[in-house]
A and B are shown apart, each in its own frame.
Chain A
Amino acid sequence: MLSIEKLNVSVGDKKILQNFNLKISKGEVHAIMGPNGSGKSTLSYALAGKDGYVVDGKILFKNENIVDLKADERAQRGIFLAFQYPIEIPGVFMNNFLKTSLNAVRKAKNQKEVDVVEFLSLVKQHAKKLGIKEDQLGRALNVGFSGGEKKRNEVLQMSLLEPDLAILDETDSGLDIDALKTVADGVNALRSPHRSFLIITHYQRLLDYIKPDFVHVMVNGSIVKTGCSKLAQELDKIGYKEFQKAI
Chain B
Amino acid sequence: MSDNLIQEQIKQDYAYGFVTDIESVRAPKGLNKEVIQFISKQKKEPEWLLEWRLKAFERLQSMTEPNWQKPQYPKIDYQALYYYSAPKNFKEGPKSLDEIDPEIKKTYEKLGIPLNEQKRLAGVAVDAVFDSVSVATTFKKKLEDIGVIFCSISEAVQKHPELVKKYLGSVIPLTDHYFATLNSAVFTDGSFVYIPEGLRCPMELSTYFRINASNTGQFERTLIIADKGSYVSYLEGCTAPMRDENQLHAANVELIALDDAEIKYSTVQNWYPGDKEGKGGIYNFVTKRGICKGKNSKISWTQVETGSAITWKYPSCILQGDNSSGEFYSIAITNNYQKADTGTKMIHLGKNTKSRIISKGISAGHADNTYRGLVSIHQKASNAKNYTQCDSLLVGNLCGAHTVPYIDNKNSTSTTEHEATTSKISEEQLFYCKQRGLNQEEAISLIVNGFCKEVLQQLPMEFAVEAQKLVSISLEGSVG
Listed in ascending order, the chain A residues whose CB lies under 8 Å from chain B are 48-52, 70-72, 75-76, 80-81, 83, 86-87, 89-93, 96-97, 100-101, 104-105, 108, 140, 157, 161
Task: Give the residues from 76 to 110 in chain B that come closer than 8 angstroms, CB to CB, to chain A.
Answer: none
Known: A72-B438, A91-B453. A51 touches B447 (CB 8 A): no
A108:B437 contact, CB within 8 angstroms: yes
List 4 A-B pairs, minimum CB-CB distance, nearest first.
A91-B450, A92-B450, A101-B436, A71-B434
With A51-B5, A90-B423, A108-B437 known to touch, is A96 a contact of B446 (CB < 8 Å)? yes
Instruction: Tell whether, in the assembled complex, residue B439 and residue A90 are in contact, meaning their CB atoms are under 8 Å apart.
Output: no
In the assembled complex, which residues on chain A have CB atoms less than 8 Å from the CB atom of B429?
87, 89
Instruction: With both chains docked as a complex, state the minimum distance between the C-beta of B430 and any C-beta of chain A, in angstroms.
Output: 9
Which residues in A have their C-beta under 8 angstroms from that of B438? 72, 100-101, 104
Beyond known contacts A91-B453, A104-B442: 7 more, CB 8 A cutoff = A71-B431, A72-B438, A72-B439, A75-B434, A75-B437, A100-B438, A104-B437
Within B395-412, the residues touching A (CB, 8 Å) are: none
A231 to B391, CA, bound (A): 52
Contact B451 A90 (CB under 8 A): yes
Q: Identify the closest chain B residue to A108 (Cβ).
A: B437
B435-475 residues at the A interface, CB under 8 angstroms: 435-440, 442, 446-447, 450-453
B423 — which chain A residues lie within 8 A by C-beta? 90
Tell me whether B176 is interfacial, beta carbon within 8 Å. no
6 intermolecular pairs with C-beta atoms under 8 Å apart? A51-B2, A72-B439, A80-B435, A91-B447, A104-B439, A104-B442
Q: Which residues of A contact B452 (CB under 8 A)?
A: 91
B436 in contact with A161 (CB, 8 Å): yes
A153 to B2, CA, bound (A): 27
Residue of B nearest to A98 (CB): B436
Given contacts A76-B437, A92-B447, A161-B437, is CB(A51)–CB(B428) below 8 Å?
no
Pick from A83, A89, A90, A105: contact of B437, CB under 8 Å: A105
Asked if B446 and A97 sit within 8 Å, CB to CB, the answer is yes
Which residues from chain B contact A161 at a C-beta distance below 8 Å? 436-437
Q: With A72-B437, A89-B432, A90-B423 in contact, is A52–B2 under 8 Å at CB?
A: yes
Tell which of A87, A100, A157 touches B446, judged by Cβ atoms closer than 8 Å. A100
**CB-contact partner of B432 in A70, A80, A86, A140, under 8 A:** A86
Beyond A50-B431, A51-B5, A51-B431, whether A75 also contacts B436 by CB under 8 A is yes
Do B5 and A92 touch across chains, with their CB atoms under 8 A apart?
no
B1 interface contact, C-beta 8 A: yes
With most chain B CB atoms within 10 A of its CB, the pick from A70, A72, A80, A108 is: A72
- Asked if B427 lies at the interface with its beta carbon under 8 angstroms from chain A, I say yes
Contacts A87-B428, A87-B429 given; indicate if A93 touches B435 (C-beta within 8 A). no
Known: A51-B1, A104-B442. A70 touches B434 (CB 8 A): yes
Q: How many residues of B contact A (CB 8 A)?
A: 25
Bound Cα distance from A96 to B448, whole angstroms:
13
A70 to B429, CA, bound (A): 15
**Chain B residues near A97 (CB-CB < 8 A):** 433, 436, 446
Say yes or no: B427 contacts A51, CB within 8 Å: yes
A89 partner residues in chain B, CB cutoff 8 A = 429, 432-433, 447, 450
Q: Write the chain A residue with the least CB distance to B436.
A: A101
The answer, among B1, B435, B447, for a CB contact under 8 Å with A75, is B435
Please determine whether A71 and B446 come into contact, CB atoms closer than 8 angstroms.
Answer: no
A140 and B454 CA atoms in complex are apart in Å by 13
B125-155 contact mask (Cβ, 8 Å, vs A): 1 or 0: 0000000000000000000000000000000
- For residue A233, give the distance in angstroms from its CB to the closest CB of chain B: 32
Chain B min CB distance to A72 (Å): 4
Assembly CA distance A157 to B423 (angstroms):
26
Whose C-beta in chain B lies nearest to the C-beta of A71? B434
The residue in B5, B434, B439, B453 that gathers the most chain A C-beta atoms within 10 A of its C-beta is B434
Most B CB atoms within 10 A — which of A76, A140, A157? A76
B435 and A48 contacting across the interface, CB-CB below 8 Å: yes
| A90 contact from B428, B434, B450, Cβ within 8 A | B450
Expressed in whole angstroms, the Cα–Cα distance for A91 and B432 within the complex equals 15
Shortest beta-carbon distance from A138 to chain B in Å: 13
- Complex: how many Å from CA A6 to CA B451? 43
Measured CA separation A75–B2 after assembly (Å): 20
In the complex, chain B residues whose CB is within 8 Å of the CB of A108? 437
Output the nearest chain A residue to B425 by Cβ-Cβ distance: A89
Q: Which chain A residue lies CB-closest to B1?
A: A52
* Closest-CB distance, A123 to chain B (whole angstroms): 14
Query: Which residue of chain B is the closest to A107 with respect to CB atoms?
Result: B437
Q: Is the CB of B436 within 8 A of A157?
A: yes
Residues of B within 8 A of A75 (CB): 434-437
Name the CB-closest residue of A to B445.
A100
Complex contact A91–B451 (CB within 8 A): yes
On chain B, the residues within 8 Å of A104 by CB distance are: 436-439, 442
- B453 cross-chain contacts in A, Cβ below 8 A: 91
- In the assembled complex, how far is the CB of residue A169 from the closest CB belonging to chain B, in whole angstroms? 11
B450 touches A93 (CB 8 A): yes
Separation of A140 and B452 alpha carbons in the complex (Å): 13
In the complex the two chains form, is A83's CB within 8 Å of B432's CB?
yes
Q: Which of A71, A87, A100, A108 has the most CB of B within 10 A?
A: A71
Chain A residue numbers with a CB within 8 Å of B439 are: 70, 72, 104
Q: Output the least CB separation between A16 and chain B (Å).
A: 15
Q: Point out the residues of chain B lying under 8 angstroms from A51, CB to CB.
A: 1-2, 5, 427, 431
A100–B434 touching, CB < 8 Å: no
Instruction: Name the residue of chain B whose CB is nearest to the CB of A140.
Output: B450
- Residues in B whose Cβ lies below 8 Å from that of A91: 447, 450-453
Residues of A with C-beta under 8 A to B436: 75, 97, 101, 104-105, 157, 161
Closest to A79 in B: B435
Q: Say how far A112's CB is from chain B's closest CB, in angstroms.
A: 16
Point out the residues of chain B lying under 8 angstroms from A81, CB to CB: 435
For A101, the chain B residues whose CB sits under 8 A away are 433, 436-438
Set of chain B residues within 8 Å of A48, measured between Cβ atoms: 431, 435
Looking at the assembled complex, report how far the CB atom of B76 sits from the nearest CB atom of chain A, in whole angstroms: 38
Q: Which residue of B is nearest A74, CB measured?
A: B435
For residue B431, which residue of chain A has the nearest CB?
A50
Q: Which of B426, B440, B442 contacts A100 (CB under 8 A)?
A: B442
Interface centre among B427, B434, B435 (most CB of A within 10 A): B435
Best-buried of B2, B426, B429, B436 by chain A (most CB within 10 Å): B436
B331 to chain A, nearest CB (A): 12
Residues in A neighbouring B447, C-beta threshold 8 A:
89, 91-92
Complex: how many Å from CA A105 to CA B433? 12
Contacts of B434 in A (CB 8 A): 49, 70-72, 75
